[in-house]
A and B are shown apart, each in its own frame.
Chain A
């Protein structure tokens, strides 16, 4: 029989205070704003659930949400397999390991607004290597005017920026596999695919789930890079939820609708995070029966 000591919860208090000031109080304020209207000067008028109804009946919101979901799906579908493939190709020992790790870490060290600026210049038809190169080849590329070109550029930028994270996570999973597994597979005459399917992939499962979770959440909350690159355009073609939210709150100063929209956005993210967390912990419990149970 275990003795439970609930006094340990007191150790959580400092973090609780920190979270209260950095997250709970701002969240409470957003909830307060979401049920009121303001014309500035710190004056508010009660409107009830009007802003929520407006958001939930707004085509603009659903379009931005769909764009976000599409963007997240595309970048996940590309970055995860690409990250796994690169991690599999990376050397496991020698000087080349350090070189590869540094090269992989470089895009992650660049600030998000700088990434946007780099790609903004890179994609320009007049001076950018990508834009000028493509137009020289006879392709009709212009990310500032064509929505498809804008989407391709935003996706390429995200892949360039974030695939390294998937690579590094997968690589950490790969190097943790004991050599004995490979030796056993070699003795059994397993093919390269069989080794990947039955040894490497199962052993990478946890880090892959973390990579998927991180990349999904990051891509779903993306703001800075597309804002700097396209400003949400052409038209609204790359206006994701976060960009739309900032336009509403800061550009139009519609604090009430923006607060309601941000709460709906928050709930969607919370739900998706919970689903991912549950899948991850369930997979852990399945991998090690009894781990998730307390006696």
Chain B
């Protein structure tokens, strides 16, 4: 079975591996600490750690797009911003 039609590249494969690893880590976390640790953060809504991961990933996607559209600096810097943003989301949301 050939997957050449999917036009895989190493960077995109690594990207999806990272997403899969994050989901796997969340599963392991949930196994050892069930319940999702729901709490109401600064957004004023109750979020579980799965919600916080989703908010982190979605927000990171928009940060990267905004970086591409507005900033001149290399995209690697947006990765740093995304990581800081994700830490803040997991800490305060």
Residues on A close to B: CB < 8 A? Answer: 4, 6, 25, 28-29, 31-33, 35-36, 38, 42, 44, 46, 49, 52-53, 56-57, 264, 267, 270-271, 274, 278, 281-282, 285, 292-294
Contact = CB atoms under 8 A, between A and B. Distances in A.
Contact of B5 (A4, A29, A49): A29
A274 B68 contact: no
Interface residues of B, number: 27
Interface in B7-52: 7-9, 11-12, 15-16, 30-31, 34-36, 38, 44-46
A28 B6 contact: yes
Contact of A6 (B11, B15, B30, B69): B30
Given A29-B7, A35-B12, A274-B58, 12 more contacts: A28-B6, A28-B16, A32-B6, A35-B9, A38-B7, A46-B9, A56-B65, A56-B68, A267-B58, A278-B45, A282-B45, A293-B46
26 contacts: A4-B35, A6-B31, A6-B34, A28-B6, A28-B12, A29-B5, A29-B7, A31-B15, A35-B9, A35-B12, A42-B4, A42-B5, A44-B7, A44-B9, A49-B68, A52-B68, A56-B69, A57-B69, A270-B58, A271-B62, A285-B46, A292-B38, A293-B38, A293-B46, A294-B35, A294-B36
